[in-house]
């Protein structure tokens, strides 16, 4: 087990060097919705709980955590992205154990752009109609746990981006590992590689135009097709760890830290903490810093601060069925922050 852990650490270190964030490539990747987190609990930690995430949320951050659930979980979320921009994320997911060591799950995220006015070259002020792009992510993952110490997971995600008469489709692969140790599973280590997949490309009738023939003798229409350029997916490598400090039998503080290596932007590092009491109330907060930037050169819309809370309500005393209500807030500049809301059913 130790040899496997050492091998994973060496692999993660090597991959981090290969991934090393490159700000010169910023903006070259597409499908940026893959970097958005629709789940409130992990959003309150700026998605830095790579080592401790579990259940449905693990389908977004580290598929190895799917199997850390006791039984089954159903999760619904809504995100008011960049308050004031009218953008929203709607998400749903389900995860459950499969046998003594396996687990599987699936998740769906839809980006809601609202109604966008239709404009043309002849009517730049608008035609009076509206349209709404359809961006959908569907992921299905599986994880396996060895002796309750090492979990490995893999996930396939379908990516669909559709506008009127133009569409793009792609597939992405996520993989991850989690290691747990300590008398109360205090120490956790997590590594995940996300959004590795095929390049995507837009196609469709929307890229064609009818242009009058350049000849002066006979006037007729010619059809010209514009060729769209391929774009890469925003691959990300996360390495994180956490440790639980027990203040009492039912009260502990979880400290965590995480390093994120972005293939198409600057790397990020951050830390956070969770205070949990009797698995009923959880308070959390975190700060993430973008390496190589300062206050005057900030390129990320998020300014670094995130916070959130969870309330779990048992449905009855005999069973462990629980309804959870989650909320998180992340500060942004510009706009008025991002709000995440979620409701979970663990049964």
| CATH code, domain with 147 | 2.40.160.60
Residue 215 within a domain: no
The pLDDT score that the predictor gives to residue 28 is: 81
The pLDDT score that the predictor gives to residue 158 is: 97
Residue 320 within a domain: yes
Residue 333 within a domain: yes
User: Number of folded domains in the chain?
Assistant: 1
Residue 159 within a domain: yes
Residue 230 within a domain: no
**How many Å apart are CA 337 and CA 79, to the nearest integer?**
11
**How many Å apart are CA 85 and CA 296, to the nearest integer?**
23
Range of the domain at 275: 2-201+235-346
**From first to last of its 347 residues, what are the pLDDT tens digits of the chain?**
555 555 555 555 555 544 555 666 777 889 999 999 999 999 999 999 999 999 999 999 999 999 898 889 999 999 999 999 989 999 999 999 998 899 999 999 999 999 999 888 888 888 888 999 999 999 999 999 998 899 999 999 999 999 988 999 999 999 999 999 999 999 999 999 999 998 999 999 888 877 777 665 666 777 778 888 999 999 999 999 999 999 999 999 999 999 999 988 889 999 999 999 988 999 999 999 998 876 555 678 999 999 999 999 998 877 778 999 999 999 999 999 999 999 999 98
The pLDDT score that the predictor gives to residue 217 is: 64
DSSP secondary structure string for all residues of 107-138 = EEEEEE---EE---SS-TT--S-EE--EEEEE
Helix (H, G, I), strand (E, B) or coil at 55: helix
Strands (E), the chain: 72-81, 87-98, 102-112, 116-117, 130-131, 134-146, 150-163, 166-181, 187-197, 208-212, 221-225, 236-248, 251-262, 268-277, 281-290, 302-314, 322-332, 338-346
Instruction: Please list the residues that pair with 111 across neighbouring strands.
Output: 89, 135
């Amino acid at each position: 087990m130790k040899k496997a852990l050492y091998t994973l650490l060496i692999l993660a270190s090597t991959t981090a060097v290969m991934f090393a964030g490159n700000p010169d490539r910023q903006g070259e990747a597409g499908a940026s919705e893959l970097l958005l987190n629709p789940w409130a609990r992990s959003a309150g930690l700026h998605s830095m709980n790579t080592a401790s995430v579990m259940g449905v949320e693990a389908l977004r951050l580290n598929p190895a955590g799917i199997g850390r659930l006791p039984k089954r979980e159903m999760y619904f979320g809504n995100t008011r992205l960049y308050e004031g921009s009218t953008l929203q994320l709607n998400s749903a997911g389900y995860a459950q154990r499969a046998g003594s060591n396996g687990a599987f799950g699936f998740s769906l995220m839809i980006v809601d752009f609202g109604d966008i006015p239709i404009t043309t070259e002849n009517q730049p002020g608008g035609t009076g109609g509206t349209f709404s792009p359809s961006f959908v992510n569907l992921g299905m993952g599986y994880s396996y746990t060895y002796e309750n110490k090492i979990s490995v997971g893999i996930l396939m995600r379908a990516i669909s981006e559709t506008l009127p008469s133009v569409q793009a489709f792609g597939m992405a692969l996520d993989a991850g590992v989690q290691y747990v140790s300590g008398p109360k599973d205090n120490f956790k280590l997590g590594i995940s590689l996300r959004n590795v997949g095929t390049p995507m490309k837009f196609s469709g009738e929307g890229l064609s135009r009818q242009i009058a023939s350049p000849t002066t003798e006979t006037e007729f229409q010619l059809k010209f097709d514009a060729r769209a350029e391929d774009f890469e997916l925003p691959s990300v490598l996360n390495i994180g760890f956490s440790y639980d400090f027990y203040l009492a039998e039912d009260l502990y503080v979880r400290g965590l830290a995480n390093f994120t290596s972005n293939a198409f932007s600057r790397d990020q590092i951050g830390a956070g903490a969770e205070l949990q009491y009797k698995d009923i109330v959880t308070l959390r907060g975190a700060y993430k810093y973008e390496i190589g930037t300062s206050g005057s050169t900030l390129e990320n819309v998020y300014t670094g601060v995130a916070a959130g809370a969870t309330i779990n309500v048992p449905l009855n005393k005999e069973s462990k069925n629980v309804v959870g209500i989650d909320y998180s807030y992340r500060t942004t500049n510009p706009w008025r922050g991002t709000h995440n809301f979620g409701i979970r059913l663990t049964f």
